[in-house]
Structure 1
Amino acid sequence: ILLLIFLITPFFIAIYFSFTNERLVSGSLPTYFVGLGNFKQMLEDGSLHRALLNNSLFGLIVVPVQTSLALFLAILINRKFRGVAVFRTIYFSPVVAPMVVVAVVWSFLYNPGQGLINEFIKAISFGHLGPYDWLSNPGLALPAIMLLSIWQGVGFQMVVYLVGLQGIPESLYEAARVDGAGSWQKFWHITLPQLRNTTIFVLIATTILSFKLYTQVEVMTQGGPENATATVVWYMVHESIHNVRVGYASAVAVVFFLIVLMRVIPVLRSVVVTEEREM
């Protein structure tokens, strides 16, 4: 029932609105059917195309980097050494912090005047580099948000990988050690295959989260400069609230949902096919 109320019903309402001129504040303007008008407008909307490009670039960079870094950290702290619990807490703590708070803190870090990141760059370059106006430069704003997102989210993937690593039988490593396998061989032939399903889950979850990118953009850049950080979710909110074009925003939401679905379904299908072959 909750799934029907909070997920399925709003989606069908969005589909209905996508074929209308529905506005947030209609006033004396009546709502009427516009057919495919909203969808045709999307084909000519340069701002939407830029948002789709930004989302794609964000996913193509953040997903593999965050996943690889999470696996590396999980392997690192899966070993038994003094203080390992402290490191696990440090790596995971950004995940539980509200994204709004994280974005505000990183906005100060990126400050071109006294931000710690610029100060660090100037220190290691002996004053030859910087300062950079990270969030006002069209070429630096999106990479700056990528860096924040990787730092904030890597702890979640790390914990998932850590659970997967602890589920690998130690006997497999002992047998490989007896056969003379090195660290790289054990990683390539034991660790990675055993983490296959975990990796698929991490990739799907991270990909979906990358498509939902909004809070960092709204807090730090408001889609600017020059739409350099605008994402589809941010654009939908902007169109529906600031431009009160609920019908058009609903059309964007429906199409974007189908795009995400087309990205995820092939991965799930390949998992099912592989599992059936192994059985």
Structure 2
Amino acid sequence: MIPVGETTPGAPPAPPKVRRRRRRPLTFGRISFFVVFLGLPLALYLVFVIWPFVQAFYYSMTNWSGFSSSMDFVGLDNYKTLFHDDIFMKALRNNIILGIVVPLVTIVLALALATMVTVGGATSGALKGLRHSSFYRVISFFPYTIPAIVIGIIWSRIYDPSNGLLNGVLTKVGLSGFASYAWLGETAVALPASVFVIIWGFVGFYMVLFVAAIKGIPAELYDAARVDGAGRLRMAFSVTIPLIRDTIQTAYIYLGILALDAFVYMQALNPGGGPDNRTLTMSQDLFNTAFKKGQFGQASAMGVLLAVVTLVFAALVFLVNYLTGGRERKGS
């Protein structure tokens, strides 16, 4: 006889017994936990985030003036009007330029500076950054502590053609052609000058962010790369960037969202949109359409398009990161 609990030789093993999970009873404590920590945040999110988007989309299909309770449903006419509006299309083009240039240049500069102050020191001995690197971090982070409107006003005074600091310094060193140069009034220079201000205000913050990410990389990886003969540039592309890819992706998305708005900076530098609307952004055009023209329905359509452009930008960043190496990292 075969003892109980044993199987015959050669027979497949008995399948393990599946234990059924017992449902815990819904007590007052569990229900209150769900309500407070799940239901309440969800309700707040729906009321203060989702519902305003729904309202904006509804208003974008009306001719609401913003100061009256009466409105007529016009369907997609506001969107058709926008795509035939030369001023709005220029603003859209300017936003796309900002969304490409500002994140790219800011991240490249911030990453280069972060690499210098963390692993850019002597090529022999222990791996370390530049001397007095903490001082450089404090100085570079300082512009981020200044409010955006203050930064815009300061640089508008620096760019002033008659009494600006920039023209004064350039003329002092012998460049007399800049005696009355209008940096924000020239068609070819207005947008690059404005982009510089935004980059100046944010490069220090993202340098500190990348410094924190780089310090989380084990020093042994850099030592191994140095033993293999890798230089600074090779270590940056083979060690630093792949290991802080997620941080770079997050920084790019945040910078892109800021650049696609950029209302405060552009309004402080050039409230009128600059020469030939070269610095006009969609948010500025939205503000003018709503509060100066009283066309809140069309302004809502601009806001919906700005939200769509922002979502498309974020999706493209995720897609590029996935196709350029994020896929292998997720699967590892």
Distance 1:55 1:111 in 2: 24
Distance 1:80 1:40, change over 3 A: closer
- CA 1:271–1:148: 2 relative to 1, 3 Å: closer
* CA deviation after TM superposition for structure 1 residue 126, in Å: 4.1
Return the alpha-carbon distance in structure 1 between the equivalents of residues 200 and 166 of structure 2. Answer: 14
Tell me the CA shift for residue 24 of structure 1.
1.9
CA 1:266–1:216: 2 relative to 1, 3 Å = closer
Paired with 1:270 and 1:73, the residues of 2 have a C-alpha distance of 24
Aligned-pair distance for 1:57?
Answer: 1.8
TM-score after normalising by structure 1:
0.92
Q: Residue in 1 aligned with 2:82?
A: 42
Q: How many matched pairs? A: 277
Whether the 8 Å CA contact 1:134–1:144 is kept in 2: the answer is yes
Q: Which residue of structure 1 aligns with residue 65 of structure 2? A: 23
User: 1:70 aligned to 2:105?
Assistant: no
Question: In the alignment, what sits opposite 1:196?
Answer: 245
Worse overlay, 81-90 or 250-259:
81-90
Residue type of the partner of 1:102? Answer: I
Q: Percent identity?
A: 34
Question: Max radius of gyration: which structure?
Answer: 2
Matches within 5 A, 1:1-279: 1-26=43-68, 30-78=70-118, 79-222=128-271, 223-269=273-319, 271=321, 274=327, 278-279=331-332
Give the TM-score taking structure 2 as reference length: 0.78
Partners of 1:128 and 1:224 lie apart in 2 by 21
Question: Quick check: 1:119–1:131 contact (8 Å CA) kept in 2?
Answer: no
Report the secondary structure of 2:65's partner residue: coil
Shift of 1:253: 1.1
Q: Structure 2 regions of 5+ residues with no counterpart?
A: 1-42, 119-127
Kept in 2, the 8 Å contact 1:24–1:245? The answer is yes
**Highest relative contact order (Cα 8 Å, sep 6+), 1 or 2?**
1
Supply the AA of the counterpart residue of 1:74. Answer: A
Asked whether the equivalents of residues 77 and 84 of structure 1 are also in contact (C-alpha less than 8 Å), the reply is: yes
Which range is displaced more, 126-135 or 144-153? Answer: 126-135
- Structure 1 regions of 5+ residues with no counterpart? none
Q: 1:266 to 1:57 in 2, by over 3 A?
A: closer
Residues 59-94 of structure 1 deviation map (CA, whole Å, 9 limit, x = unaligned):
222221111111111112224455322221111111
Superposed displacement of residue 191, structure 1: 1.5
Q: Distance in 2 between the 1:278 and 1:130 partners?
A: 59
Q: Secondary structure at the match of 1:268?
A: helix
Cα RMSD (Å): 2.0
**Partners of 2:177 and 2:283 in 1: CA distance:** 38
The 10-residue stretch of structure 1 (165-174 or 252-261) with the greater mean CA deviation from structure 2 = 252-261
1:173-227 CA distance string (max 9 Å, x none): 1112222322222222111221222221121111111101101121221123331
- Verify the 8 A CA contact 1:94 1:151 in the aligned structure 2: yes
Amino acid at match of 2:327: T
Partner of 2:275, secondary structure, is coil
Moved more, 69-78 or 145-154: 69-78
* 1:40–1:214 distance in 2 versus 1, CA, 3 Å: same
CA contact (8 A) 2:116 2:129 kept: no
CA distance in 1 between partners of 2:316 and 2:97 (Å): 20
Kept after mapping to 1: 8 A contact 2:116/2:130: no
Question: 1: CA distance between counterparts of 2:321 and 2:155?
Answer: 38
For residues 184 and 104 of structure 1, the distance between their equivalents in structure 2, rounded to whole angstroms, comes to: 38
